[in-house]
Amino acid sequence: MTTNPVMRERSALLRKEAEARLSEGSAPSAITTHLSFDALRLLHQLASSPSTASDALKLLHELQVHQVELDLQIEQQHLNELELMHDVTYYKSLFELAPTGYLVLTLDGDISEVNMAGLGFLDTENDEALGRRLDSFLAPASQPAFAGLLNKLNLATFAGWMKNRNPDSFSTRCLVQTNAPGDPDMLELKARISPDKKAILLMVSRQSCVQCHETVPSG
């Protein structure tokens, strides 16, 4: 029996709902289809004797309540899964349609996810971007700046940002230029390590200036 007050309260509410459904007749009636052969034999033995018939009824009731509780848990789990799928779809649409360019990179700089605005900045299609290194879309003069960004992020992740700070709070930025023909504008890359430390989260925005920013901590 759980000693957690919250779990005890949830268990009590679940049992109350199960008993209410049984009394209202809204619970499945085919409870015996869920019982094992041994349980059915025990119920039969108890019901066959007048002295234990009441025990058989109590046991059957407990089994019914338990089964309805399981059904309610499965029902709630299904609703939770539907809600989670809805949330995933919603936030994925926010990612895809955001006016700012967002990319997810591997720690080596390969593109694993990119939204529509990011593709526009890179002047490419999704199929051509995924799996490629981001610096393959940059002008040769900008590739060292991106390499420095990766090094700083990886150093912060493995060494720890200032040792006493979580490396997740570290971000870095630089200005780069793509190799797209006829595009002289600079792009500002702002990057940080993902919470699981397995990817790089990158935000891209267009800049009219050509002044690079120093690496800064965020937060």
Q: What is the pLDDT of residue 30?
A: 47
140-166: per-residue pLDDT in tens?
A: 999 999 999 999 888 877 655 545 555
Write the CA distances from 162 to 10, 129, 157, 191, integer angstroms: 44, 34, 11, 18
Q: What is the pLDDT of residue 70?
A: 81
Which residues, at least 6 apart from 25, have a Cβ–Cβ distance to it below 8 Å? none
Domain spans in the chain, listed from the N-terminal domain onward: 5-94, 98-207
Q: What is the pLDDT of residue 32?
A: 47
Q: What is the pLDDT of residue 46?
A: 58
Comparing 185 with 6, the larger pLDDT belongs to 185
* Phi, psi for 51 (deg, rounded to 5): -75, -20
Give the number of other CB atoms < 10 A from CB of residue 174: 22
Taking 60 as the threshold, does the pLDDT of residue 34 lie above it? no
Indicate the fold that domain 98-207 takes in CATH.
Answer: Beta-Lactamase (3.30.450)
67-96: per-residue pLDDT in tens?
A: 777 887 888 888 888 889 998 889 889 889
Q: What's the pTM?
A: 0.60
> Is residue 34 classed exposed, middle or buried when 0-12, 13-18 and 19+ CB atoms within 10 A define those classes?
middle
Q: What is the pLDDT of residue 217?
A: 40
Q: What is the pLDDT of residue 144?
A: 95
Q: What is the pLDDT of residue 113?
A: 95
Which residues, at least 6 apart from 178, have a Cβ–Cβ distance to it below 8 Å? 121, 122, 123, 137, 138, 139, 142, 187
Locate 173 and state its tokens: 């930025």
